[in-house]
Amino acid sequence: MPALILLLALVLPALSVSPAGAEEGPPLQNERRLFQTALDALEKEQVDSARAALSELDGYPLKPYLEYRLLLAQLPSAPAEQVQRFLEHHADAHFSATLRTRWLHELARRNAWEAVRDLIREDETSIELRCLAITAQLRTGQAGGIVNRAGELWMSGRNRPTTCEPAFAMLDTIGWITPERLRQRIRLAFDEDNPALAATLARQLGGEAPKRVEAWKRAVEAPDTFLKKDADAPNDSWRADMRVDAVRKLARKDPDQAHPAWLRLRTRYAFTPEQIGEAEREIALRAAWRMDPRASGWLRAVPRAGENEELRAWKVRAALREQDWPHVITAIEAMPAAEREREEWRYWLARAREALGRKETAQALYAELARQGSGYHALLAADRLNLPYAFATNPPLTIDTRRLDALTLRPAIRRAREFRALGMIDEARREWNAALDGMDGPTLGHAARLADHWGWHDRAQVAMGRALRAGAPDLPEVRFPLPWREDVLRAASERELDPHWVYGVIRQESLFMHEVRSRVGAVGLMQLMPATATWMGGKLGRKIDPAQLTDVALNVDLGTAYLGHVRDNFDGHQAMATAAYNAGPGRVRQWQPRESALPADAWIDSIPFDETRNYVQSVLAYTTVFDWRIDGEMIRLSERLPPVPPRQP
């Protein structure tokens, strides 16, 4: 048994906290019934009935939530003192932020601009509220500094909310919105693929601008057609922008076609350094994402005006594909310090130096990186020196049971726990996240331990992630729990899958939220698309009801079946199969090397999709930790990474 697990076994019996709902007897169940009665009454707009139930809920953790709902229901007539008192007394509640925003709009409706000015904060992140703050200053005669702030909000290619209209009208009145600025914002609108805003701005600019914007729109909608018809048109600033955008759009579809088209344009017409940089960066990046062997040269040829973080990263990734170690070093060393210090680039700088025989400096970089934790590149660095992994050897956070007890008494923690007990999962998660605000690293670690003890693993991950970022020691058993162990081990065994890998996929896909649904419709622990689940069920001879995919056993059964399917598609290659689980087998085949095998670490770090690249790195690192959690020993990460074979002809 690992030392950390032994320590956990000694600590757990001493914890005075209990699982969610365990200490609640009949009195709390009665309060829950009253709470639900009040919520039902509010849904039916029966305010008096809700207020009657509320009066019997003194001391109940969620009484403030009902008060909040009552205030929302009556906000147009609510006394300002009552709302302000609620916001002050329950500032730690997540729903207070919603009430505060709604209240600011209500105050604006009442023309209570001094109240808006006093309540709004200088550090608002919402565009809507930042504009409301400017309006409040305008209405109360405190206009100092608002022109620059309003100008920053206006100068965007995105649509702005209606609360910005008074601020923008002020800019227009004082003559700040010049033809040059309108022209600049039109450029930004096309950058954001927002031709409707560009057309609105063109009408404001007048003259030939509407016709120009209409032509620009045609250029980005059908770039190949535009470039052919536009070949002999005279150049000006409008036309130059159109041509650059047409080339960029064409590059997204076909860099092979875009590259010669751009060379013809550049030899015939004048472009600014920025326009040249934009066009050549787009072509080079698109070629790199398609594994075009010309990409490295094109990336290095992009002028300085076209450089950004993405371009600098792909100079390295393209060089990795070619195992061009001198260019890997050159590209990394040319990065700004903040970028160069990322774990990924420190690892590859060490790899490149090692490949070129500079072993001493490489080993120093590996050793430093290996001490830093359980991240993918830190584990690979440890492997290069055969060092023990930091997560298995670093001392964990010391748990103080008194601190845990104190946390359970915090109102926000009590609310989060009670929301969860009632099945109000979204509210529970929001309240938990709000409860973490302002905690220091060790307190966050204790909150993670508390959530884990309650079996609330996804919120334990959130708290532990914040704790680590705040510098607290790790709790690997909290970050890598083993819920539904019987279901996972059974399904993995039936599919002859590595159970540690299955857990790695589950953690990355859903963070142990068995009921979660993604924006694109993926469901459950292993984030199955209903169509994939139905197809997989058919292969297994089972009829699948997509509505049941939140069931843990069913989801894990179908998810492991699909994971086994992609594994078999790639001859058991775990990295390739992991990428296929995320992006699909067809894309992974396109990403295979063209001619000869490639080291898996270089292949993974040159996957074109950011999401898939990060996904594979995370899943494989998690797999290694889960191996240690389940078995006490582990297969080293590098042993899971055989070379990636070239694509089949």
The pTM assigned to this predicted structure is 0.92
pLDDT at 293: 93
Q: For residue range 258-285, what is the model confidence (pLDDT) as tens digits?
A: 999 999 999 999 999 999 999 999 999 9
Rounded CA-CA distance 69/73 in Å is 6
pLDDT score recorded for residue 2: 40
Residue 206 falls in which region: left (phi positive, over 0), alpha (psi -120 to 50) or beta: left
Whether residue 15 has pLDDT greater than 60: no
- The pLDDT value recorded for residue 143 is 79
* pLDDT at residue number 22: 39
**Surface-to-core class of residue 436, CB atoms within 10 Å of its CB (0-12 exposed, 13-18 middle, 19+ buried):** buried
Provide the β-strand partners of residue 644. Answer: 598
DSSP lists the bridge partners of residue 598 as: 644
The pLDDT value recorded for residue 156 is: 98
| Dihedral sign for Cα atoms in the order 481, 487, 490, 492 | negative
User: How does pLDDT run across 563-617, given as a tens digit for each residue?
Assistant: 999 999 999 999 999 999 999 999 999 999 998 999 999 999 999 999 999 999 9
The SS3 assignment for 399 reads coil
Specify which residues 528 forms β-bridges with: 523
Hey, what are 215's tokens?
């032509």
The CA distance from 549 to 521, in Å, is 11
Rounded CA gap, 550 and 513, in Å? 9
pLDDT at 233 (0 to 100): 83
Contact predicate 407/443, CB 8 Å: yes
Q: What is the number of other CB atoms lying within 10 angstroms of the CB of residue 579?
A: 27
Which amino acid is residue 600, in one-letter code?
A
The answer to whether the beta carbons of residues 567 and 577 sit under 8 Å apart is yes
Q: Quick one: pLDDT at residue 648?
A: 84
How far is residue 234's CA from residue 312's CA, in Å, rounded to a whole number? 34
d(C-alpha 333, C-alpha 345), whole Å: 9
What percentage of the chain reaches a pLDDT higher than 70?
96
Look at the block and give the residue holding tokens 């709604």. Answer: 102
Q: Do residues 324 and 297 touch, judged by C-beta distance below 8 A? A: no
DSSP code, position 482: -
Reply yes or no on whether 509 is catalytic.
yes
Q: How confident is the model at residue 27 (pLDDT cuts 50, 70, 90)?
A: low
Is the pLDDT assigned to residue 537 strictly greater than 80?
Answer: yes
* 511 φψ region: left (φ > 0), alpha (ψ -120 to 50), beta (else): left
Share of the chain above pLDDT 90, in %: 91
Q: How confident is the model at residue 122 (pLDDT cuts 50, 70, 90)?
A: confident
| pLDDT score of 224 | 93
Residue 374 pLDDT: 76
Helix axes 209-221, 195-205, angle to 10 degrees: 160
Spatial CA neighbour of 356 closest among 333, 328, 326, 321: 326
Q: Are 604 and 616 in contact (CB under 8 A)?
A: yes
Mean pLDDT of 441-461: 97
Residue with tokens 């996929």: 505
Is residue 350 within 8 A of residue 358, CB to CB? The reply is no
DSSP string, 633-644: S---GGGG-PPB
C-alpha 509/C-alpha 531 separation (Å) is 17
Catalytic residue among 31, 67, 344, 509: 509
Average pLDDT over residues 342-357: 97
Tell me the pLDDT tens digit for each residue of 539-561: 999 999 999 999 999 999 999 99
Query: What is the residue type of 388?
Result: P
Contacts of residue 376, Cβ cutoff 8 Å, sequence gap at least 6: 617, 618, 620, 621, 637
Query: In whole numbers, what is the pLDDT of the chain averaged over residues?
Result: 93
Instruction: Give the per-residue pLDDT at 23.
Output: 42
Range in 9-13, 152-156, 484-488, 610-614 with the lowest mean pLDDT = 9-13
Give yes or no for residue 406 having a pLDDT over 70: yes
Phi, psi of 598 (to 5 degrees): -125, 140
232 has pLDDT over 90 = no
Q: Is the pLDDT of residue 359 over 50?
A: yes
DSSP string, 100-162: HHHHHHHHHHTT-HHHHHHHS-TT---HHHHHHHHHHHHHTT--TTHHHHHHHHHSSSS---G
Residue 517 φ then ψ, to 5°: -125, 130
Q: Are the C-beta atoms of 451 and 457 separated by less than 8 Å?
A: yes
pLDDT in tens, 34-74: 999 999 999 999 999 999 999 999 999 999 999 999 999 99
What is the residue whose two structure tokens read 């990734």? 317
Better pLDDT: 142 or 4: 142
Question: What is the predicted pLDDT for the residue at 145?
Answer: 87
Q: Which amino acid is at 129?
A: L
CA distance 331 to 322: 14
Amino acid at 262: W
